[in-house]
A = this chain, B = another copy of it.
């Protein structure tokens, strides 16, 4: 999220300052976060996700969604454990598993040949569970493609997790930025047992609050307890004063979120038109979030060099596809959460570079 183009939620700073004035109580919260704020957020997340959340047992506030992801994996994965991970998916998923000494079991997603569901290979997911994986981690909407898991996909993941006794960790960082007409199905509201699902969210992206480093995880008491013990040795707690800013979350002014979604959607549509006019470019329509993941035509230069050229000559930061999947050797991820005209200009220059370097 470019916060200069998309301003933070109103009142965020005021809530922070109020937190500073509360003194010790706000600076030294419980490691899992201030109890009043957890009560507030638990209720809002229950409404949003469609399943109750106990603020005392089932919720932890973390330093950003990244902190929640690290702790959720560290609380469930031991060295040698097999962990099912989608290809493509957020690059840190793989890196955290590797840091913990876990073994990544890839599950592929054929997102380019679908328009409704994500195209997750459920057969491969079952094979992963059969091979011993007891944790499945995925982002929904998917990062980098912006595709959203369909209700049948979520139901099938729930069935498989139930059958094999696996824990599902779902990163829903962009779950509030869902485009018009698109259904969103919450994993934790599926038939899965509450003891088997951890949901990660945070106000860093859609709400432009990244500078405050806030994330949350909700899940079974046993995993949240372990996450809190780990948080005590990793960073103690999410920044105390920042936690106050959670008061603004899911409580934005009327129409605020809708306007933010509409602006992103208009930009998404313009960029898709631009990309689809380029011979050899194939791109799936993002259903949520602010990433687009076009597959480029074959280039005369290595993808890394192209990405460098885009940064220097088009002033746009894109990420090579292989960060998300070793197979995505011809794709790049672009974050289009920017000023509309500037984003269009950057993509126009990027397309000129595609034309220049296409074989």
Contact = CB atoms under 8 A, between A and B. Distances in A.
Interface of A: 2-4, 8, 13, 16-17, 19-20, 23-24, 26-28, 62-64, 66-67, 70, 74, 79, 92, 95-96, 99, 101, 210-213, 230, 232-242
Given A13-B17, A211-B19, A67 B235 contact: yes
Contact of A211 (B3, B27, B64, B101): B27
Contacts of A28: 210-211
A211 B240 contact: yes
Tallying the copies of this chain within the complex gives 2
A79 B66 contact: no
Tell me what chain A mostly uses at the interface: helix, strand, loop, or mixed: helix
Contact of A79 (B101, B233, B239): B101
A185 B254 CA distance: 58
Contacts of A13: 17, 20
B24 A2 contact: yes
A148 B182 CA distance: 62
Given A13-B20, A213-B242, 10 more contacts: A2-B24, A8-B20, A28-B211, A62-B235, A63-B63, A63-B239, A79-B79, A212-B239, A213-B213, A213-B236
Contacts of A230: 99
